[in-house]
């Protein structure tokens, strides 16, 4: 039987009710994916079906509770396929930031004053503040490695060069949510693992664009957020089984001390967990494969191809406009289809507001990558950020370029 071709962008778009929205008589083009993608009908249906028919708390002996247990278990399996992990290595939480605060507090218990944590300046502060807070509690030293400001990239040798005999942890972002830079986290993780240093990867901006394989990567922990890959607002923490078991997280005593539950706190958003599984199935359904992981691999290859074409088109179109300055690595470098720019003489807030009048929805500011924006010397207005997603079309990209071109100088 001939293999079915991957789903076209038009077919994908039909799944997203949000894309039917108009603003000032123009169809809305959502370029705000790095802040949170739109959600397909499959995810909305799964969440409302859970709430309508299966809603319960966990671990009790009646059907809706048992169904909830089963649905959470199935969601862990789906995330395991997405990350290349085991289902017992997948913990859920409110978002990446709160999971990381929780993990950080537990991880540093037992570390000695003067032990060191290595971070980079290319991070979202969700991957800075939790480590700094934990370090302050225990008298640890935080070393922050700068990035190359001209191209918005990390020098991984410099990150590795920051490791010393007291380094206990390196926490590094896989992809910059501000500039789209994809960093060579594999080399950093391998070097750290060889020295017995714990590794934490912030994959929130990477996972919508890069399919992780945590076993191959070899990291101890990796965090991401379902709302960046077409799911609901939910955080995900992968931890290598032994690492998850070892971390001394604060616990409410009767709660299970087995993995992955020992890392989770209180009652979860079951509907979001169910929605997360539906988002992963949606992604896997973009292409074909013998099983979900293989389908995801095929889907991500297509997403990468389409995303690369869109970001090249966007980058070149914007670069040709007078008064537009682009930041981050050029299209040929490893990057996500997230393009950051400023328009000379116009505040980023005003750029975003004027583009919104044309039905072009973009985010602006520092996106919590505050140090990145500071190092770029941009001040509080920060950047304008356009992110392409699986539903973005070349037409929308052209509308955006024309919209920026039409801004009064």
Ligand X SMILES: Cc1ncc(COP(=O)(O)O)c(C=O)c1O
Tally of CB atoms within 10 A around 3: 9
CB of 97 to ligand X, least distance (A): 3
Token pair of 236 as six digits: 């995900």
β-bridge mates for residue 384, sequence order: 341, 364
Determine if 235 is a binding residue for ligand X (CB under 6 A): yes
Touching ligand X, residues 120-159 (CB under 6 A): 124, 126-127
Q: Which of 291, 269, 270 lies closest to 280, judged by CA?
A: 291
**Residue 32 vs 396, nearer CB to ligand X:** 32
Main-chain phi, psi angles of 104, to 5 degrees: -60, -45
Main-chain phi, psi angles of 32, to 5 degrees: -100, 20
Q: Are strands 221-225 and 90-93 parallel, antiparallel or unpaired?
A: unpaired
Determine if 41 is a binding residue for ligand X (CB under 6 A): no
Dist CA 237 CA 52 (whole Å)? 28
Stretch that binds ligand X, among 22-30, 69-77, 91-99, 309-317 (CB under 6 A): 91-99
**Residue 124 vs 240, nearer CB to ligand X:** 124
Determine if 225 is a binding residue for ligand X (CB under 6 A): yes
Determine if 173 is a binding residue for ligand X (CB under 6 A): yes
Determine if 364 is a binding residue for ligand X (CB under 6 A): no
**Residue 68 vs 338, nearer CB to ligand X:** 338
Do 85 and 216 form a contact (C-beta atoms < 8 A)? no
Q: Which of 158, 159, 154 lies closest to 169, judged by CA?
A: 159
CB of 225 to ligand X, least distance (A): 3
Determine if 371 is a binding residue for ligand X (CB under 6 A): no
Determine if 199 is a binding residue for ligand X (CB under 6 A): no
**Residue 129 vs 356, nearer CB to ligand X:** 129
Determine if 204 is a binding residue for ligand X (CB under 6 A): yes
Do 213 and 186 form a contact (C-beta atoms < 8 A)? no
Stretch that binds ligand X, among 90-98, 142-150, 327-335, 356-364 (CB under 6 A): 90-98
CB of 367 to ligand X, least distance (A): 6
Q: Which residue has the tokens 């919104």?
A: 356
Which of 15, 89, 202, 264 forms a contact with ligand X (CB under 6 A)?
202
CB of 407 to ligand X, least distance (A): 26
Determine if 79 is a binding residue for ligand X (CB under 6 A): no
Determine if 97 is a binding residue for ligand X (CB under 6 A): yes
Element (H, E) at 71: helix 63-83
Determine if 95 is a binding residue for ligand X (CB under 6 A): yes
Touching ligand X, residues 297-326 (CB under 6 A): none
CB of 235 to ligand X, least distance (A): 5
Report the first-to-last Cα separation within the chain, whole angstroms.
57
CB of 112 to ligand X, least distance (A): 28
Stretch that binds ligand X, among 119-127, 161-169, 209-217, 342-350 (CB under 6 A): 119-127
Do 246 and 267 form a contact (C-beta atoms < 8 A)? no
Q: Which residue has the tokens 């037992």?
A: 110
**Residue 37 vs 392, nearer CB to ligand X:** 37
Burial (Cβ within 10 Å: 0-12, 13-18, ≥19) of residue 253: exposed
Q: What are the distances in angstroms from CA 315 to CA 53, 201, 270, 301?
A: 47, 27, 40, 21
Determine if 292 is a binding residue for ligand X (CB under 6 A): no
Which of 177, 198, 338, 371 forms a contact with ligand X (CB under 6 A)?
177
Q: Which of 205, 211, 229 lies closest to 390, judged by CA?
A: 229
Determine if 96 is a binding residue for ligand X (CB under 6 A): yes
**Residue 68 vs 120, nearer CB to ligand X:** 120
Dist CA 150 CA 134 (whole Å)? 32
β-bridge mates for residue 221, sequence order: 200, 239
Residues contacting residue 23 through CB under 8 Å, at least 6 positions apart: 356, 357, 359, 361
**Residue 295 vs 390, nearer CB to ligand X:** 390
Stretch that binds ligand X, among 82-90, 197-205, 248-256, 298-306 (CB under 6 A): 197-205
Which of 7, 54, 168, 205 forms a contact with ligand X (CB under 6 A)?
205
Task: Provide the binding-site residues for ligand X, judged by CB under 6 A.
Answer: 95-97, 124, 126-127, 173, 177, 202, 204-205, 225, 235
């Amino acid at each position: 039987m001939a293999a079915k071709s991957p789903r076209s962008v038009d077919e994908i778009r039909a799944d997203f009710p949000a894309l039917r929205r108009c603003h000032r008589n123009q169809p809305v083009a959502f370029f705000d994916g790095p802040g949170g993608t739109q959600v397909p009908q499959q995810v909305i249906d799964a969440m409302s079906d859970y709430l309508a028919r299966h809603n319960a708390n966990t671990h009790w002996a009646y059907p809706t509770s048992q169904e909830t247990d089963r649905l959470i278990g199935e969601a862990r399996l789906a995330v395991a396929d997405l990350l290349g992990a085991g289902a017992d290595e997948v913990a859920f939480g409110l978002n990446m930031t709160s999971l990381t605060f929780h993990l950080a507090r537990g991880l540093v218990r037992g570390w000695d004053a003067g032990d060191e944590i290595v971070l980079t300046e290319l991070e979202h502060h969700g991957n800075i503040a939790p480590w700094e807070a934990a370090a302050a509690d225990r008298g640890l030293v935080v070393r922050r490695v700068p990035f190359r400001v001209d191209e918005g990239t990390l020098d991984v040798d410099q990150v590795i060069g920051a490791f010393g005999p007291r380094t206990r942890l390196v926490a590094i972002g896989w992809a910059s949510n501000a500039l789209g830079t994809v960093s060579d986290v594999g080399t950093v993780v391998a070097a750290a693992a060889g020295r017995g240093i714990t590794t934490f990867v912030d994959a929130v901006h990477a996972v919508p664009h890069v399919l992780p394989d945590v076993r191959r990567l070899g990291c101890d922990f990796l965090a991401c957020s379902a709302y960046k890959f077409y799911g609901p607002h939910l955080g995900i923490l992968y931890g290598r089984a032994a690492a998850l078991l070892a971390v001394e997280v604060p616990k409410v005593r009767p709660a299970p001390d087995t993995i992955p539950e020992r890392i989770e706190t209180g009652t979860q958003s079951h509907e979001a967990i169910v929605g997360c599984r539906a988002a992963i199935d949606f992604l896997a359904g973009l292409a074909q494969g013998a099983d979900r992981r293989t389908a995801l691999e095929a889907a991500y290859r297509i997403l990468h191809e389409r995303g690369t074409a869109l970001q090249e088109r966007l980058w070149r179109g914007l670069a040709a406009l007078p008064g537009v300055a682009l930041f981050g690595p050029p299209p040929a470098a490893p990057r996500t289809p997230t393009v950051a720019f400023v328009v000379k003489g116009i505040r980023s807030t005003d750029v975003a507001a004027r583009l919104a009048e044309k039905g072009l929805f973009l985010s602006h500011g520092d996106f919590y990558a505050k140090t990145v924006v500071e190092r770029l010397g941009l001040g509080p207005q920060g950047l304008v950020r356009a992110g392409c997603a699986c539903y973005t079309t070349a037409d929308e990209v052209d509308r955006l370029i024309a919209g920026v071109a039409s801004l009064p100088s």
